[in-house]
Amino acid sequence: MEVVVQNGPEQRRIAQFAVSARNGEAAFLDTLQVLPPYRHLWAEAMEAALRALGPGLFHYGSDWSLDNVRAPLVDGIPGARVISRRQSWLDVIDFRRWTEWRAYLSAISTNVLRNDRKCAHHHPRLRIETRNGASALTCAPRLNLMRWRMYREKGVAVSPLKLVLRSAARTWCLRQYAMTALAISEAGPLSAYAGIDFGRTSFYLEGASTRNNGGAAWRLLLAMVQAAFERTEGQGLFVLGPSVGSEPPWDGLARSRRQLRATAVEGCCFSFRYESPS
């Protein structure tokens, strides 16, 4: 659905949204998107959306959303009442904190750079192959095999079939923005990456590597961060994913994000009821 403003005979679209609705309950997928010049009208746009949708129970937000915290604004809409909130955080590298790529490299953990040098020593002929668009699917088999083995080693129960279907469906549906990459040595692929490049934001969605990769996992990830930095001329964001706990089996993941100087951006998923005001 779209939200428009009327100025005399002229109509201008200022926002759009999608919902999944059933039996008086609906979920925004995932946020109400308002054009930058009209962001100050977010509450008015949401109020117009709710009038069109009618009364019901609504769920708003996503763990991957970079939208501002909106629950207080919804609470101020006549007829709307927030009934539950779930705090969330998204780990993001904001390139605008550094003037150039070399400045970013000097700020990250020396452990990252040490692993990168280790990769150059162990795999002097390592190459990185990237795929964009529909061809990104060609890396999916190797990526999902690595992911399944990684989850198994961490003791995390996952369905190989679900891994494949979810990855393939997302890549195909977002093929205009999808990209995958493999770090390949003479012995074969050592690390894999899958992400989405959308505007000035790059989303790191999936990644995996072999157990003894000799620093190839870091080499690939750092290459993807650098590609995003250069693509956005140092003005973009690299989203590493929702914050994870610093406990097994994800303590290494949380530590690696800190080493890359990611910061936690606050989000908020919430549910609210809406009744048409009298």
Model pLDDT for residues 4-58, shown as the tens digit of each residue: 998 888 899 999 999 998 888 999 998 999 999 999 999 999 999 999 999 999 9
Which span out of 43-47, 88-92, 162-166 was modeled with the highest average pLDDT? 43-47
Could you tell me which of 100, 109, 60 has the C-alpha nearest to residue 81?
60
Q: Is the pLDDT of residue 246 over 70?
A: no
Which pTM does this prediction carry? Answer: 0.86
Tokens of 54: 């009618």
* 97, pLDDT greater than 60: yes
pLDDT at 216 over 70: yes
Taking the C-alpha atoms of residue 227 and residue 223, their distance in angstroms, rounded to an integer, is 6
Residue located via tokens 């998107």: 33
Q: Does the pLDDT at position 248 exceed 80?
A: no
Mean pLDDT of the chain: 91
Q: Are the C-beta atoms of 242 and 205 separated by less than 8 Å?
A: no
Q: How far apart are CA 202 and CA 208, in angstroms?
A: 18
What's the confidence (pLDDT) of residue 149? 86
- pLDDT, greater one: 158 or 17: 17
> What is the mean predicted confidence (pLDDT) over 228-233?
97
Q: Give the amino acid at 263.
A: T
Q: How far, in Å, are 58, 107, 114, 268 from residue 118 at the CA level?
A: 50, 19, 6, 40
| Residue percentage of the chain with pLDDT more than 90 | 67
For the residues 84-97, what does the mean pLDDT come to? Answer: 93
As a whole number of Å, the end-to-end CA separation of the chain is 24
Listed in sequence order, the residues at least 6 apart from 270 whose beta carbon sits closer than 8 Å to its beta carbon are 59, 60, 61, 70, 71, 74, 82, 84, 85, 86
Lowest mean pLDDT segment, chosen from 102-116, 147-161, 188-202, 241-255: 241-255
3 close to 14: Cβ distance less than 8 angstroms = yes
Output DSSP code: residue 67: P
State mean pLDDT over 243-271.
81
Would the pLDDT of 157 be above 70? yes
